[in-house]
């Protein structure tokens, strides 16, 4: 088994835990599983052995119950979870929750547990029960993410950074993981069929067909705690950078900043975990004739990310098996919006496929 510690028992962890149970029950008949086998590992080989959160409705509860506790609102596509025996531990708060989220009148605000925060040594000891740590903290959790990344290094485990706090793509953190001879994957998942991958594909389409992109926007709305959290402008900047750069790096020519606007735009409570993205592109085709393209994407946000997490966890374990260290660039380019080395999607897919086949050949 690949033993995993999760940081943050929110909607993404709910989708991940449900998804692992779904894959184990359905095997090869499971729908929508990208890379069903990577090296010798399948999704059924993943087991969550440790979890941290700060919300009173999750801390102290079995993971199977905590993933359905408020403020989680993702779809229950595999609700018949059996007790895991994994009790959610009190995490370190730091900047993992903003005052905005604690005091918001919405039904999905956070209620911070009054249990004592753990010493770093306790977190490190818990991480040592795992091989891979995955970070699902709220957007903007810079200090908390760095705290847990440091714990992962001290525990000697791989680190997967699912959020737009820059760890794998930060030179200093990359050096620290390399020096510790540990792999790090990140940053900020590209969802399975999400707004970023669709937007990148449209930019590719224009470039491949010889059309010119003049202006573009991507406006996203949703009703989960992530969207509510990002209504606090102080926690949004890294997310906007991650999403914007993911589109800019695939364009044949970068757009001026005033001609591109990408990022979370609003919170609508009754959407729950559904995300709706509006993408508009304005440009010119042959002869300078104008072309305008608009598309709308509606998708459940968290399962869209959990699919990528199931890939990343297995790749992190393979990197450990192979004693690879530092950022695993051949994997990060396909999975993340802000990887250490940006890659076009087709060669990134090929690189991940080669990574998987090479690992399979070594077993």
Q: What is the pLDDT of residues 29-40, one digit of tens each?
A: 999 999 999 999
| Together in a domain, 13 and 72 | yes
- pLDDT band, very low/low/confident/very high, at 363 (cuts 50, 70, 90): low
Q: Among 268, 284, 301, identify where a domain stops.
A: 301
| Together in a domain, 19 and 101 | yes
What mean pLDDT, rounded, does the chain reach? 96
Distance between CA 53 and CA 96 in Å, rounded? 9
Question: What is the CATH classification number for the domain harbouring 107?
Answer: 3.40.50.720
Q: Can you give the pLDDT at residue 98?
A: 83
Distance between CA 34 and CA 308 in Å, rounded? 8
8 Å CB contact between 270 and 223: yes
8 Å CB contact between 163 and 7: no
| Together in a domain, 275 and 176 | no
Domain region containing 295: 195-301
CA-nearest of 42, 71, 62, 53 to 8 is 53
| Together in a domain, 230 and 158 | no
pTM: 0.96
DSSP 8-state secondary structure symbol assigned to residue 200? H
Distance between CA 321 and CA 202 in Å, rounded? 37
| Together in a domain, 286 and 320 | no
* DSSP assignment of 79-116: --PPP-S-BPEE---TTSS-HHHHH--STT---B--SP
Q: Among 280, 301, 322, identify where a domain stops.
A: 301
| Together in a domain, 252 and 109 | no
Q: Residue 211's CB: how many other CB atoms inside 10 A?
A: 17
Beta bridge partners of 135: 7, 161
* DSSP assignment of 1-67: -EEEEEE--SHHHHHHHHHHHHHHHHGGG-TT-SSS-BTTB-GGGEEEEEEEE-BTTTTTSBHHHHT
| Together in a domain, 201 and 331 | no
| Together in a domain, 352 and 276 | no
Q: Can you give the pLDDT at residue 264?
A: 85
| Together in a domain, 358 and 213 | no
- pLDDT band, very low/low/confident/very high, at 361 (cuts 50, 70, 90): confident
Interval 326-332 mean pLDDT: 97
Q: What is the pLDDT of residues 175-222, one digit of tens each?
A: 999 999 999 999 999 999 999 999 999 999 999 999 999 999 999 999
The fraction of the chain above a pLDDT of 70, given in percent, is: 99
Interval 334-360 mean pLDDT: 96
Distance between CA 256 and CA 224 in Å, rounded? 32
| Together in a domain, 83 and 60 | yes
Distance between CA 290 and CA 294 in Å, rounded? 14
Q: What is the pLDDT of residues 102-148, one digit of tens each?
A: 877 766 788 999 999 999 999 999 999 999 999 999 999 999 999 99
Q: Among 255, 270, 301, identify where a domain stops.
A: 301
| Together in a domain, 184 and 312 | yes
Domain count, the chain: 2
Q: Can you give the pLDDT at residue 45?
A: 98
| Together in a domain, 162 and 27 | yes
Question: What is the CATH classification number for the domain harbouring 261?
Answer: 3.30.360.10
Q: Can you give the pLDDT at residue 201?
A: 97
Residues 6+ apart with CB under 8 A from 262: 199, 216, 217, 218, 240, 243, 244, 247
Q: Can you give the pLDDT at residue 107?
A: 64
Parallel, antiparallel, or unpaired: how do β-strands 2-7 and 132-135 relate? parallel
């Amino acid at each position: 088994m690949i033993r995993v510690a999760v940081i943050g028992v929110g909607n993404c962890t709910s989708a991940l835990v449900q998804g692992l149970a779904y894959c184990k029950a359905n095997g090869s008949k499971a729908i929508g599983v990208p890379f069903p086998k990577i090296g010798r590992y399948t999704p059924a080989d993943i087991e969550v052995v440790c979890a941290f959160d700060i919300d009173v409705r999750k801390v102290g509860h079995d993971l199977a119950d905590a993933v359905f506790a408020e403020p989680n609102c993702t779809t229950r596509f595999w609700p018949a979870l059996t007790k895991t025996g994994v009790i959610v531990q009190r995490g370190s708060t730091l900047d993992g929750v903003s005052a905005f989220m604690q005091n918001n009148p919405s039904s999905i605000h956070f209620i911070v547990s009054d249990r004592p925060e753990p010493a770093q040594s306790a977190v490190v000891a818990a991480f040592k029960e795992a091989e891979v740590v995955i970070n699902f903290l709220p957007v903007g959790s810079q200090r908390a993410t760095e705290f847990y990344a440091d714990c992962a290094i001290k525990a000697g485990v791989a680190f997967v950074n699912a959020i737009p706090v820059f760890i794998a793509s930060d030179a200093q953190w990359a050096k620290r993981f390399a020096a510790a001879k540990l792999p790090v994957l990140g940053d900020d998942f590209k969802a399975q069929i999400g707004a970023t991958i669709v937007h990148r594909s449209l930019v590719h389409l224009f470039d491949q067909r010889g059309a010119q992109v003049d202006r573009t926007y991507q406006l996203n709305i949703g009703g989960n705690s992530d969207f509510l959290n990002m209504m606090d402008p102080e926690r949004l900047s890294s997310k906007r950078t991650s999403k914007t750069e993911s589109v800019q790096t695939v364009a044949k020519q970068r757009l001026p900043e005033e001609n591109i606007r990408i990022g979370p735009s609003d919170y609508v409570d009754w959407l729950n975990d559904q995300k709706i993205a509006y993408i508009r592109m304005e440009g010119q085709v042959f002869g300078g004739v104008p072309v305008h393209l608009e598309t709308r994407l509606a998708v459940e946000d968290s399962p869209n990310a959990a699919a990528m997490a199931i890939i990343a966890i297995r790749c992190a374990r393979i990197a450990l098996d192979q004693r690879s260290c530092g950022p695993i660039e051949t994997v990060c380019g396909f999975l993340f919006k802000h990887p250490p080395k940006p890659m076009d999607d087709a060669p990134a897919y090929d690189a991940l496929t080669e990574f998987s086949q090479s690992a399979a050949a070594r077993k």
